[in-house]
Amino acid sequence: MSHAPRPFLDLETFVLLFFAAIVGSVVTTLTYLSKENQPASLLAGGAAAGAALLWARLVIKPPHEK
């Protein structure tokens, strides 16, 4: 009896991480182009990616109401 291997990430997780990576990359690039300060642009991009991940998680997979 052989079982099909499970994917490393399910589709919802992949979409959430991909969206957060795109948003973080765009914010990092735009911040770097405006200020030319690499540490500040990386911090802004990381913060934007985290916020995008939390927002997308609420939109795509809302919590169950009790």
User: What pLDDT does residue 65 have?
Assistant: 60
State mean pLDDT over 37-64.
91
Integer Cα distance of 30 and 37 in angstroms: 11
Of the pLDDT bands very low, low, confident and very high (cuts 50, 70, 90), residue 60 is confident
User: What pLDDT does residue 6 have?
Assistant: 83
| Residue 4, CA distances (Å) to 1, 8, 9, 10, 12 in order | 10, 12, 14, 14, 19
Of the pLDDT bands very low, low, confident and very high (cuts 50, 70, 90), residue 55 is very high
Which residues, in sequence order, are CB contacts of 40 under 8 Å at separation 6+? 31
State mean pLDDT over 40-66.
88
Using one digit for the tens of pLDDT, what is the confidence trace for 6-49? Answer: 888 888 889 999 999 999 999 999 999 998 999 999 999 999 99
